[in-house]
Amino acid sequence: MPELYYKSAADLSRLLASGEISARELIQSVIDRTQNVEEKVHAFLRFDPEAALAKAAQCDERRSAGKSLGPLDGIPVALKDLICESGQGLTCGSRILEKYVSPYDATCVAKLKENGTILWGRMNMDEFAMGSSTENSGYQNTANPWDVSRIPGGSSGGSAAAVAAGETIAALGSDTGGSIRQPASLCGVVGLKPSYGLVSRYGLAAFASSLDQIGPITRTVEDSALLLQAIAGYDTLDSTSYQADIPDYTASLNSAPKPWKLGLPKEYFEEGLDPQIRQLVEKVIDFYKSEGCQIIEVSLPHTNLALPVYYVLAPAEASSNLARYDGVRYSHRSKQANDHVGLYFKSRGEGFGPEVKRRIILGTYVLSSGYYDAYYLRAQKVRTLIRNDFLEAFKQVDALITPVSPTAAFKIGERSGDPLSMYLSDIYTLSVNLAGLPGISVPCGFNSDKMPVGVQLIGQPYREAELLSIAHLYDSVHRFGMEHPVL
């Protein structure tokens, strides 16, 4: 039997419910695993074994009294370090927030606590979620558990690496342009980016507010359904929260009507895609054909504009959001300043890393007088065209199949000096955020270097139940996310 730390959340939930294992046994297994491999992976910024064991004892008491809080009661879940947890540090991977302690829980954290999950550690990330490799962290580089000389993806690299390495059972990340799906693909686990507004952003440190979305990183699609069930729903504390009835995602995994019509956007299979990744995605397409699904080629004609649109809109919103880190209230305060203007400049200069500075400068430029209409306003109009492309395609199909990343994980440092090459890592994921759609990365095999590869399924707005069902059909047969790296 695999070690407890490598089992799925759904399987562990059943073992906890039957009494075959205790929450204390489970968290001790995860703690031991983390202490054994963390020096190689560097996924965590902080973790607290004593607090986790105390929470596990409470879970066991509830279960023994017949008062379980549900299927996630006792399941360890890690948090990307830009999600607020009361009394815990919140760095966003940045030195500017090195000493900040969150005074409240994010809505998704409050919901996890209501479901009895054991919050297990704060995960490394690209600074303020700006990056695709977790090399932009102000603290450390996280390694890919399948090859520690390679990047885990980003910006939720710590979350994905920890799940892949068995250092947690599941994790929450955030996705602004692919930051859940891309690292999930590169680390061989499942990553779900929900529709914009389905999961409350209250308590999520903002990068780009119209693009950010919290979502789960897990070993299986079933586990993602369990996590999404817990964190989804309308929240009056988030003005962009979507009012919708939340279905039973787990129950719908095997009950959705099929076969489906699945679309292949021709623009996602052109030059730049690694031939081995193309081959693995084509095997996924063949599987759905064998299940009776109809495969239809579709066109998303404005796909080539997604990257420039994203790198106008996201930095513009970041420039606005990150203005609050001013050295006056709760962020790093420079000791070198002589006046209030110097305090602002020096505090930000010392606290922010080079990638964050690059994007703030770019965002401030496109919002500046004389350039707003030429760049920001025009980008918003093209964003509408990109969303309309998807809505037009969904008149023909139920979901889309695409690659997640044009390559598998590359070597640490390989692209550090080439920002454009790094930005292209998210070429297949950016559009989903611009259009506010749900997308999921599901492991679909390994390349010749034995590095994992994921396939992306893109669903219709707020139809996560259908998207999860489509993804589960493949995942339940192949279960590549349950394969383990040797560390």
Q: For residue 12, what pLDDT band results from cuts at 50, 70 and 90?
A: very high
Look at residue 369 in the predicted model and tell me its pLDDT: 84
Q: Is 440 exposed, middle or buried (0-12, 13-18, 19+ CB in 10 A)?
A: buried
Look at residue 169 in the predicted model and tell me its pLDDT: 98
Average pLDDT for residues 311-336, to the nearest whole number? 94
- Asked which of 126-135, 416-425, 473-482 is least confident by mean pLDDT, the reply is 416-425
Average pLDDT for residues 189-211, to the nearest whole number? 98
Helices 107-114 and 221-231: crossing angle in degrees, nearest 10, is: 110
3-class DSSP string for the chain: CCCHHHCCHHHHHHHHHHCCCCHHHHHHHHHHHHHHHHHHHCCEEECCHHHHHHHHHHHHHHHHCCCCCCCCCCCEEEEECCECCCCCECCCCCHHHCCCECCCCCHHHHHHHHCCCEEEEEECCCHHHCCCCCCCCCCCCCCECCECCECCCCCCHHHHHHHHHCCCCEEEEECCCCCCHHHHHHHCCEEEECCCCCECCCCECCCCCCCCCEEEEECCHHHHHHHHHHHECCCCCCCCCCCCCCCCCCHHHHCCCCCCEEEEEHHHHCCCCCHHHHHHHHHHHHHHHHCCCEEEEECCCCHHHHHHHHHHHHHHHHHHHHHHCCCCCCCCCCCCCCCHHHHHHHHHHHHCCHHHHHHHHHHHHHHCCCCHHHHHHHHHHHHHHHHHHHHHHCCCCCEEEEECCCCCCCECCCCCCCHHHHHHHHCCCHHHHHHCCCEEEEEEEECCCCCEEEEEEECCCCCHHHHHHHHHHHHHHHCHHHCCCCC
pTM: 0.97
Look at residue 416 in the predicted model and tell me its pLDDT: 84
Which has the higher per-residue pLDDT, 23 or 337? 23
Whether residue 164 has pLDDT greater than 80: yes
Cα-based distances in Å from 278 to 61, 208, 369, 480: 50, 31, 44, 17
Whether residue 135 has pLDDT greater than 90: yes
- At residue 171, φ and ψ (nearest 5 deg) are -150, 160
Average pLDDT for residues 200-213, to the nearest whole number? 98
Q: For residue 208, what pLDDT band results from cuts at 50, 70 and 90?
A: very high
Q: For residue 160, what pLDDT band results from cuts at 50, 70 and 90?
A: very high
Q: For residue 422, what pLDDT band results from cuts at 50, 70 and 90?
A: confident
Q: What is the mean pLDDT of the chain?
A: 96
Look at residue 2 in the predicted model and tell me its pLDDT: 62
Look at residue 326 in the predicted model and tell me its pLDDT: 93
Residue 125 · residue 42 · CB < 8 Å: no
Look at residue 78 in the predicted model and tell me its pLDDT: 98
Residue 353 · residue 343 · CB < 8 Å: no
The full set of domain ranges for the chain reads 4-257
Catalytic residue among 102, 155, 319, 431: 155
How far, in whole angstroms, is CA 437 from its chain's centroid?
Answer: 14
d(CA 256, CA 131): 36
d(CA 425, CA 207): 18
Look at residue 1 in the predicted model and tell me its pLDDT: 44
pLDDT digits (tens, 9 = 90+) for 251-306: 999 987 789 999 999 999 988 899 999 999 999 999 999 999 999 999 999 999 99
pLDDT digits (tens, 9 = 90+) for 219-253: 999 999 999 999 999 999 999 999 988 999 999 99
155 is catalytic: yes
Catalytic residue among 80, 111, 193, 346: 80
- 185 torsion bin: left (phi>0), alpha (psi -120 to 50), beta (else): alpha
pLDDT digits (tens, 9 = 90+) for 86-134: 999 999 999 999 999 999 999 999 999 999 999 999 999 999 999 999 9
Among the CATH numbers 3.90.1300.10, 3.40.50.620, 3.30.70.580, 3.40.50.720, which is that of 4-257? 3.90.1300.10
299 is catalytic: no
331 is catalytic: no
pLDDT above 70 coverage of the chain, percent: 100
Tokens representing 68? 């379980």
d(CA 174, CA 129): 8
Catalytic residue among 156, 179, 405, 431: 179
